[in-house]
Homo-oligomer: A and B are copies of this chain.
Amino acid sequence: MTNDTRPTIADVARRAGVSKGLVSFALNGRAGVAAETRDRILAVAADMGFSPSLRARSLSVGRAFACGLVIGRSPDVIAADPFFPSFIAGVEDEFSISGQVLVLAAATPGRHEEDTYRGLVADRRVDGVILSDLRADDPRIALVAELGIAAVTLGVPDVASPFTSVSVDDGAGIRLAVDHLADLGHTDIAHVAGPAGMLHGRSRADAFERAAAARGIRSRVVATDFSAADGARATDALLDADIPPTAIVYSNDNMAIAGLGRAQRRGLIVPRDLSLTGFDDAEIGRHLFPALTSVATDARGWGAAAARALLAATTGAPAEARMLPDPRLIVRASTAAPRAGTQTA
């Protein structure tokens, strides 16, 4: 069909005067080929510019040499999330050197998440998938296990999982934020959390409550859907309280940015009247006024680690739980000591 005149393995075999099988062995560096013969075959192959057809290989070995990432969230939410592009770049850092390719699929109006996974597997388009944005009792774990492909989860699921997990201790980041604020003298801190149904949202909220308790801080938590709009709403709700908090720890940067906007609209001066911290350390945060104090995770490193783990899993490596380095707190200008007398408990 294609007018390809790419040399095939048969061409190489003919030119080298050996059989196809031997060429395959030589190319794959397997035993059973005399050194001299192998060198000759390799020379001929190189000379002819031969490279094996991925498609034929894919058909015969039953692998796709591709992995998938299914985006479940709406594009608006993703668009606001600095995590994915960096994460994907990290995945590519690994894939590009191992000849893998990343297949991106999105649940669309006409195709639900589960169908997306099923479709990918039905067509054998991927050897494995990256499961991100883990949810409570996430049905994808069982689904992907049933479908029989490899997977890695970003974070540790709250259900039994046969897959390798690659995690960052979000909680440690939240603790850094709380401790930072406590050190500044805050005694009444709120947390604008993600949905309880999302594991990282929940773990950040849990960590917040524990860290606040450990420092004897008055704490409250309000759940959101992680969107900027909801972050703004939550901020308003908190600031409408009889005794508003003097600091707010947000579960992501978007909400923190929206919260900052909200506070400023109300005439508050940040950080004088209210301290804010974000999570993700989005590039834009450092250009706001005031620049946003935020928790930084290495999304790119995470992507690379997940890709490595997934590659290992597709070749049969046993599942394990990997931890990445803890996030760091990048202190900027959105946090300061609370105004004296602000707090009248």
Contact = CB atoms under 8 A, between A and B. Distances in A.
A79 B75 contact: no
Contacts of A104: 88, 92, 102-104
Given A54-B125, A122-B51, A287-B258, A93 B109 contact: yes
Interface in A247-268: 254, 257-258, 260-262, 264-265
B79 A92 contact: no
Contacts of A80: 82, 282-284
A110 B85 contact: no
Interface in A86-126: 86, 88-89, 92-93, 96-97, 99, 101-106, 108-111, 116, 119-120, 122-125
Contact of A75 (B89, B102, B228, B232): B89
Contact of A85 (B62, B75, B105): B75
Interface in A236-286: 254, 257-258, 260-262, 264-265, 282-284
A55 to B, nearest CB: 5
A258 B283 CA distance: 10
Nearest to A267: B289
Given A284-B228, A291-B261, A85 B84 contact: yes
A76 B232 contact: no
A19 interface: no
A61 interface: yes
Given A125-B101, A232-B287, A282 B79 contact: yes
Interface string A216-241: 00000000000111011000000000
Contact of A82 (B1, B61, B79, B96): B79
Nearest to A109: B93
The listed residue with most B CB atoms (<10 A of its CB), out of A108, A264, A287, A289, is: A287
B289 A228 contact: no
Contact of A257 (B2, B74, B109, B284): B284
The listed residue with most B CB atoms (<10 A of its CB), out of A71, A282, A284, is: A284
A159 interface: no
Contacts of A132: none
The 4 lowest CB-CB distance pairs between A and B, nearest first, are A258-B287, A75-B89, A264-B289, A2-B62
Given A227-B283, A228-B284, 8 more contacts: A53-B59, A58-B59, A71-B88, A75-B88, A92-B105, A93-B110, A97-B111, A102-B103
